[in-house]
Amino acid sequence: MLHLKTLSEMADDLAEKRYSATELVTHFLNRIQNHDSELNAFITVTKEQALSTAKKADQDRMAGTAHKLAGIPIAQKDIFCTKGIKTTCGSFMLDNFIAPYDATLIERCNQAGLATLGKTNMDEFAMGSSNENSYYGPVRNPWDVTRVPGGSSGGSAAAVAARLAPIATGTDTGGSIRQPAALCNLTGLKPTYGRISRYGMIAYASSLDQGGLFGLSAEDLALVLQITAGFDEKDSTSVDHAVPDYSKTLHDSLQGVRIGIPKEYFTAGLNPQIAHCIHEAIKVYEKLGATIKDISLPHSDLSIPAYYVIAPAECSSNLSRYDGIRYGHRCENPVDLSDLYRRSRAEGFGSEVKRRIMIGTYALSAGYYDAYYLKAQQIRQLIRQDFVEAFKEVDFILGPTTPDTAFKLGEKTNDPISMYLSDIYTISVNLAGLPAISAPAGFSDNLPVGMQLIGSDFSEAKLLNIIHQFQQHTDWHKRMPEGV
């Protein structure tokens, strides 16, 4: 039952040689083989690479040169380029793309000896909140296979929730780590913009995209954040800010920590049972010595409209490179250049991606730029300013991660606006560039409920600390889907 252990326990066990990395990796590969046909969490399983990494980890450990995490299995979202391995970004456009280099995040995982089990399913080009926009089919939520796992990093979330991997990477442009973490009972971290390199992470909306992690606890996330965070000269938006020891401060007391509760996050659209769970979480924090304060983030209601101008605008520019020549699928027998562009893009992209490209192209076109794009950028500043003001009064902001629990597959596919509203509490964090964590906070009708904690720039260590303290006093994060 190796999969029931936490990543931290696995690291200790490997150090004590209670079992080998090869046994550990084989165990997870077997679980993927037995359970993934139902969940569809993986697009590619990298069995041979995982086993050879494990073998090397075992040899290094014998020689006394292994990194603490060497041989620990990890699932990588298929948005990160992996050298020699198919990297699809959930799109037919990249169905046959073998990346010629590793993303920095992948390179750092490899350097520590983490064993990549495979590449996880995702919404096409990370556009979505349910993982139903993947060319490779939807992912199912291990808590109820008739429901979505959330998106866009749905494959990574389902893989960790079903214990097909102890940890997984994700990316979060508007909520794609925190929302699936909430729907699958995981701890999901979206770091500060610039904390983890974007080099080799396929771009959706570059000023919002941020890589991060899914795990079973803050303690596990701290270990992997340690090796992945930090400046990268290959990413011009990577920030040269010291990387603290994330595990060291997990046990700090919360006495005197000020937590703000934004009134805008508890309005009519919120499932009352989720509100109840968040109020219970607030009581836990009060017991742990935190001071709770009501606050306001007055421009919260503008985050979705601003995001759905800025993100499509940036994606329309980023995705212009998939033209059948420089990158991506090329149509058969084009009659001329224009035909090649048109048909390659028409065949290569799915309908949500096309919708975003059209919205973005429109918003950026001459005559509309000032009315839409510029306006949205101004709103973005107001949203950031709301947080700056709030952080003068409080250290962290607590609220629900999502307005509701996991919805049924197909329930929102014909209603993009209702799908977009799944990210109502997460999107403003990306617009402001801040770090945030979603962590398990209870259940509503047997479905997981997530709480979101938002911190100021580069407060990851403290965020992990306040989640870890919560997890020392609650056991929501230890609950597992039936059959695991």
Catalytic residue ranges: 77, 152, 176
CB of 229 to ligand GLN, least distance (A): 19
Q: x/- site string to ligand GLN, residues 355 to 394, per CB under 6 A?
A: ----------------------------------------
155 binds ligand GLN (CB under 6 A): no
**CA of 39: how far to CAs of 155, 185, 190, 279, 348, in Å?**
8, 16, 24, 32, 25
128 binds ligand GLN (CB under 6 A): yes
CB of 100 to ligand GLN, least distance (A): 24
Binding segment (CB under 6 A) for ligand GLN, from list 165-173, 253-261, 376-384, 474-482: 165-173
What residue ranges in 280-412 does DSSP mark as E strands? 291-295, 396-400
Strand partners, 75: 118, 168
Q: x/- site string to ligand GLN, residues 415 to 454, per CB under 6 A?
A: --------x-------------------------------
174 binds ligand GLN (CB under 6 A): yes
152 binds ligand GLN (CB under 6 A): yes
CB-wise, 45 or 309, nearer to ligand GLN? 309
DSSP at 422: G
Q: What is the Cα–Cα distance from 376 to 364, expressed in whole angstroms?
A: 11
DSSP at 372: I
220 binds ligand GLN (CB under 6 A): no
SS3 407: coil
CB of 179 to ligand GLN, least distance (A): 7
- Find the largest Cα–Cα distance for the chain: 71
With 0-12 CB in 10 A as exposed, 13-18 as middle and 19+ as buried, what is 276?
middle
SS3 296: coil
Q: What is the Cα–Cα distance from 438 to 441, expressed in whole angstroms?
A: 9
* Amino acid at the residue 336: D
Binding segment (CB under 6 A) for ligand GLN, from list 168-176, 251-259, 335-343, 365-373: 168-176
CB-wise, 46 or 176, nearer to ligand GLN? 176
311 binds ligand GLN (CB under 6 A): yes
CB-wise, 404 or 423, nearer to ligand GLN? 423
Residues in 188-217 at the binding interface with ligand GLN, rule: CB under 6 A: 204
CB of 335 to ligand GLN, least distance (A): 35
Interacting residue with ligand GLN among 129, 131, 134, 228 (CB under 6 A): 129
CB-wise, 177 or 281, nearer to ligand GLN? 177
134 binds ligand GLN (CB under 6 A): no
Interacting residue with ligand GLN among 76, 173, 192, 465 (CB under 6 A): 173
Secondary structure (DSSP) of 160-179: HHTTS-S-EEEE-SSSTTHH
Residue 441's contacts (CB-CB under 8 Å, 6 or more residues apart) are: 277, 278, 280, 281, 449, 450, 451, 474, 476
Q: What is the Cα–Cα distance from 182 to 187, expressed in whole angstroms?
A: 8
Q: Which candidate, 123, 117, 120, places its Cα nearest to that of 39?
A: 120
Residues in 84-103 at the binding interface with ligand GLN, rule: CB under 6 A: none
Binding segment (CB under 6 A) for ligand GLN, from list 123-131, 228-236, 339-347, 402-410: 123-131
Peptide linkage before 8 cis (omega within 30 of 0): no
Peptide linkage before 176 cis (omega within 30 of 0): no
Question: Roughly how many angstroms between the first and final C-alpha of the chain, as a whole number?
Answer: 10
Residue 391's contacts (CB-CB under 8 Å, 6 or more residues apart) are: 456
Residues that bind ligand GLN (CB under 6 A): 126-129, 152, 171-176, 204, 311, 423
